[in-house]
Chain A
Amino acid sequence: MANRIARAGGALVLVSALALSACSTGAGTDGGTDAAGACTPSDGPVTLDFTTWLPGMEDAAAIWNEKNPDIQVKVQTGPNGLGGTYKNFFNQIEAGNAPDLGQIEYDALPNFRVQDGVVNIADCAGVMDAQDQFIDWTWSQVTFGEDDAVYAVPQDTGPEALFYRADLFEKAGIAIPTTWDEYAEAAKQIREEGGYITNFSQSDINAFAGLVWQADGQWFKNDGEAWDVTLDSPESIMVADYWQGLLDDDLVATLPAWTDEWNNGYNSGEVWSWVSAVWGANSITSGAPDTAGNWAVAPMPQWNEGDSAAGNWGGSSTAVLKGSEHPYEAAQFALWLNTDPEALASMNKTANIYPATKTGGDLPAFSEGLDFFGGQNIYDVFAAAGAEVNPDFTWGPTMTQVYTDVADGFSGAISGSGTLTDALTDGQQKTIDAMKAAAIAVNE
């Protein structure tokens, strides 16, 4: 009896081995990337699944489907990445039924790379040539500095600038700060007026990372063998100390971000400015409707006078997920989606995305002044900022854990136990532990 089971098991293994080899030879000839890295078109019509959380992506896909009857794209929707879609991607990759294409934010991409969840599409026609079309730093986000490797096509970016209440600053006779020193000075004056210069969010650790990014700081570095973790790099600590100083002197509000309280803080004029990404314009417009016309946008304050460094907050890419049977077609769609003016205009209309291409700022939607910002064309400021973002900033492979751990420390600092700097040094150790636990090589 036992013998029979063993034999049946052996037969099963043999059959699946055959099936596997059949699959891989098949992939080599009629599409798919084989070991040599070729990326060739499939025979016959193809249907691709694309999972995203951008509202209205079907509209962009419809434009493509119209033009490419042989490569149809079906859009599937999920919650935003950290809200469940990444977890689902990993489950699906493990189960072997991941969608062909998926939306992945830059900060999550290293995690997919480390877990071998995304396909290297460098050999797919046109991918390498597209490099020049994208803002330099977005291209580094999808290649990780590896030669002959592209793990996704950049989609959108979040270059940062300073949103401020032009009317309040003018009435109080406070100059718009161009350096962080001036910003701290302005914070004191605004406090005397009864307001707060800005709100410091305990939960948006990637907003804080944007500030570190602007200061030329690094949190992670991969030398091809192992990761350096530098949450406590000098630049990072400098930024933390700066904000800790403002917190200690009660010069910034500490409303929980993205809540009604927070909206109300801006709507009532209690909070006067916000260093945020280009998409922050929507948040302000919808959260503070009573202040329409009174806002303006200026470049971020600088650490050194005369500099023009900008940070970045957010941004996504379109990746071909492991297990896709049609990486060639998937790569073609990903390229088209993120470079074609019609596609970019569609995504901008339905989801307010700000494209990662160098010419993305030329979309008609970005050419007009906005009434909410007193008629200013704010996108000029953001386009200039996009070009000033340090291209070398690298995200780590365990960002979800980093965000949670550091946010715990930040909320402690805001309620008076510990400091932001403590949060970073604790986060440093926890991150190293988490990476080791996940068997990811770390330099110490």
Chain B
Amino acid sequence: MSATKTAAKKHHGPRESLFSRSGAMLVMAICTFYFLVPIWWLFVAATKDRSDFTTSAPLWFADFNLFENIGNLATYRDGLFFRWMLNSILYAGAGAAVATLFATMMGYALAKYDFRGRETLFNVVLGGVLVPATALALPLFLVFSQVGATNTFWSVFLPSIVSPFGVYLARIYATSSVPDELVEAARIDGSGEVRTFFTVATRLMTPAMVTIFLFQFVTIWNNFFLPLIMLRDEKLFPVTLGLYIWNSQVNQIPEIRAYVIIGALLSIIPLIIAFLSLQRFWRSGLGTGALK
């Protein structure tokens, strides 16, 4: 025991004691456990058939029926669930892509161009970060219903392409990572402003853009209140709203419960994929934003 202690001291310097280190590890372990147990439960529950669900231990497997369950879900109401998944991917994927482009353009403009009212504009955008999306849903509903656009794809898509936080992040990042000299050099070489933005600035801002994309993707994917208010046609639902509605029908049709559980499991897969594949960029993006 004392040998390990001295070894630890030798390697990590005198200020880090074994006690604080293991304390930190313990807290981390508890947190990890706390966050992973619900997902584990969801996975286990999704593999059970209906009768095992109530009778077997909640955190361990009974008969493994995952693929049958997915098969049932795929045929239930003509595969409506997968249509919702596609909708969510479209809302979140396309919405986040457009939002990223707009936010990057605005952040770049705020960082690199000096114009009157620049700081005011930036402050307004910062104010936008503080307004919760749920508070905007009802006014948006009234606006969209004035132009007869509720219950359409656009009523969910258009509000999703605005990302004040993205603008903020893009401005900070552009200020620190796109040198003025480079922009000047591009101008001297005869490149127009738009071309400079797309060929020079976006290259340098890629980590920030990935971060904005990921943030916005998750926000839109999890956005529930706006579609709840806007949409009536179940063919337009994102997966969050669809599952919520199924869940509210469980009293009427108990077997829907199984579909809700397996659907919930499947619905987090795209998020996991997005995180794992973009994590590298995301971390470097956040780090840069924080350091400079």
Contacts and interface: CB of A to CB of B under 8 A. Distances in A.
Contact of B51 (A96, A99, A289): A289
Contacts of A54: 249, 252
Contacts of B50: 286, 289
Nearest to B148: A97
A92 B234 CA distance: 17
A362 interface: no
Interface stretch (B65-73, B101-109, B253-261, B278-286): B253-261
7 A-B pairs closest in CB distance: A286-B254, A76-B232, A95-B145, A80-B248, A79-B248, A289-B51, A83-B248
Contacts of A267: 54-55
Nearest to A81: B248
A84 interface: yes
Contacts of B244: 79, 83
Contact of B254 (A79, A285, A290, A353): A285
A279 B257 contact: no
A289 B55 contact: yes
A3 interface: no
A51 interface: yes
A351 B255 CA distance: 11
B222 to A, nearest CB: 16
A182 interface: no
Contacts of B148: 97
Contact of B245 (A53, A99, A353): A53
Interface residues of A, number: 38
Interface in A78-101: 78-80, 83-84, 88, 91-92, 94-97, 99
A99 B232 contact: yes
A317 to B, nearest CB: 16
Given A96-B145, A267-B54, A290-B55, A55 B138 contact: no
Interface string B139-151: 0011001101011
B264 interface: no
Nearest to A268: B55
B4 interface: no
Interface in B230-260: 232-234, 244-245, 248-257
Contact of A77 (B51, B232, B250, B256): B232
Given A97-B145, A279-B251, A287 B54 contact: yes
A97 B144 CA distance: 11
B245 A351 contact: no
B229 A95 contact: no
A399 interface: no
A371 to B, nearest CB: 15
25 contacts: A76-B234, A78-B228, A78-B245, A79-B228, A79-B244, A79-B245, A84-B228, A91-B138, A91-B142, A94-B142, A95-B145, A97-B148, A258-B250, A258-B251, A267-B54, A267-B55, A279-B251, A282-B251, A282-B252, A286-B50, A286-B255, A286-B257, A288-B54, A290-B55, A351-B249
B58 interface: yes
A80 B148 CA distance: 25
Nearest to B228: A84
Interface in B117-156: 138, 141-142, 145-146, 148, 150-151
Contacts of A352: 252-253
B254 A282 contact: yes
Which of A49, A91, A260, A287 has the most chain B CB atoms inside 10 A of its CB? A91
B229 A91 contact: yes
Contacts of B257: 286
Interface in A262-321: 263-264, 267, 279, 282-283, 285-290
A97 B151 CA distance: 11
Given A79-B228, A79-B245, A287 B141 contact: no
B254 A287 contact: yes
B292 to A, nearest CB: 44
Given A79-B248, A95-B145, A283-B251, 7 more contacts: A55-B252, A77-B233, A88-B229, A95-B142, A96-B145, A267-B55, A282-B254
A203 B104 CA distance: 48
Nearest to A83: B248
Contacts of A94: 142
A107 to B, nearest CB: 15
A15 to B, nearest CB: 16
Contacts of A287: 54, 254
B262 to A, nearest CB: 16
B233 A76 contact: yes
A49 B232 CA distance: 10
Given A55-B256, A83-B248, A287-B54, A77 B228 contact: no
Interface string A138-162: 0000000000000000000000000
Contacts of B250: 258
Given A55-B253, A88-B229, A279-B251, A264 B54 contact: yes
A263 B45 CA distance: 15
Given A79-B245, A282-B254, A289 B232 contact: no
A288 B54 CA distance: 8
